[in-house]
Amino acid sequence: MTSNSAQKPTSYVPDSSGWSAALYNKNANFVYSPAYTTPVLELLAAKPGERIMDFGCGSGEVTVVIEKIVKGKEGGYIAAVDFSESMVEKAKTQGLPEAFVCDIQDLAFPPSSVYSGPREEFDAVFTNATLHWCKRNPSGVIRSAKRILKRKGRFVGEMGGFLNCIGIRTALKTVLKSKGYDGLERDPWFFPSPEEYSTLLEAEGFDVTHISLTPRLTPLETGLYGWLNTFARGSWLKDLTEQEADEIMKEVEEMCRIDCQDGNGNWAMVYVRLRFVAVLDG
């Protein structure tokens, strides 16, 4: 596969948060595929009638799977929030009209939200492929979950864990440094070990009943350039010109080719997923 550095169509232009739902759906639909989401959905074990909130609903594909389960009994509903306006707009088209934009590191419900009633009302908080973007205040996310959960409520999720994106993260920092940029400052990711994340959960009063790291070989249908354009362009490279960002992504792609492209031209990378179940004690 070769790089495709053609100018992005208008629909692929990112929003103010750096995300484009259209680009995400094109280059990263594996994130919400049944093959990759079944393990964390099994940990959630949603039941009809439960009230669940999805932290980082993205374009809504996984959220609607949960919604179908919980709405099987009166009183069940799902709330959906994401940091990206583009993602929330797409989620609304999936049948989640009450999805709203907010930073889950400091959760606040819109005044007009149907969820503006009692706060300790959710049976579970669910999250998939989101918390590794919450580097600024990972404990703030946990406190947000704690604030809205019932006693004995569940916080269940999957995120990038220790060793996630190994090789590619180093390549980004190396190429950025060669251009005079501080890759450490630009790195938006938080990939904790099970021990690290357990400590954060327990500090906020959660009992960790399951936590694990699972390596996963992840094929990249649109190549590494497509992956970088989706996950690095709007974060690591957000303030750079199109030309400079394109050059950096091409250099990273070339640096990683020996490890991430097979003899048939297919690209893949190593994801390492941290999965957890934590129950609120107090």
pLDDT digits 0-9 by tens, 103-115: 999 999 987 776 6
**Could you tell me if 234 and 172 are in contact, meaning their C-beta atoms sit under 8 angstroms apart?**
no
Residue 1 has pLDDT above 80, yes or no: no
Q: What number is the average pLDDT over the span 248-277? A: 98
Q: What pLDDT shows up at residue 171?
A: 99
Neighbours of 30 (CB within 10 A): 16
Residue 148 has pLDDT above 60, yes or no: yes
pLDDT digits 0-9 by tens, 177-232: 999 999 999 999 999 999 999 999 999 999 999 999 999 999 999 999 999 999 99
Phi, psi dihedral angles at 181 (to 5 degrees): -105, 150
Residue 65's H or E segment, with its range, is helix 61-70
Residue 7 has pLDDT above 60, yes or no: no
Whether residue 77 lies inside any domain: the answer is: yes
Q: What pLDDT shows up at residue 6?
A: 47
Cα maximum dimension of the chain: 58
Whether residue 79 lies inside any domain: the answer is: yes
Whether residue 3 lies inside any domain: the answer is: no
Whether residue 90 lies inside any domain: the answer is: yes
pLDDT digits 0-9 by tens, 16-67: 878 887 888 888 787 888 889 999 999 999 999 999 999 999 999 999 999 9
Whether residue 232 lies inside any domain: the answer is: no
Contacts 24+ apart (CB under 8 A), 198-204: 198/276, 200/138, 200/139, 200/142, 201/142, 201/155, 201/276, 201/278, 203/139, 204/139, 204/142, 204/143, 204/146
- For residue 108 the two structure tokens come to 């606040």
Whether residue 38 lies inside any domain: the answer is: yes
pLDDT digits 0-9 by tens, 71-114: 999 999 999 999 999 999 999 999 999 899 999 999 999 877 76
Q: Which domain holds residue 96?
A: 16-165+188-221+270-280
Q: What number is the average pLDDT over the span 150-167? A: 98
Q: What pLDDT shows up at residue 147?
A: 94
Instruction: Give the span between the Cα atoms of 282 and 269, in whole angstroms.
Output: 40
What total of structural domains would you count in the chain? 1
CATH of the domain at 54: 3.40.50.150
Whether residue 6 lies inside any domain: the answer is: no
Residue 2 has pLDDT above 60, yes or no: no
pTM, to two decimals: 0.92
Task: Enter the DSSP assignment of 113.
Answer: -
Share of the chain above pLDDT 90, in %: 81
Whether residue 83 lies inside any domain: the answer is: yes
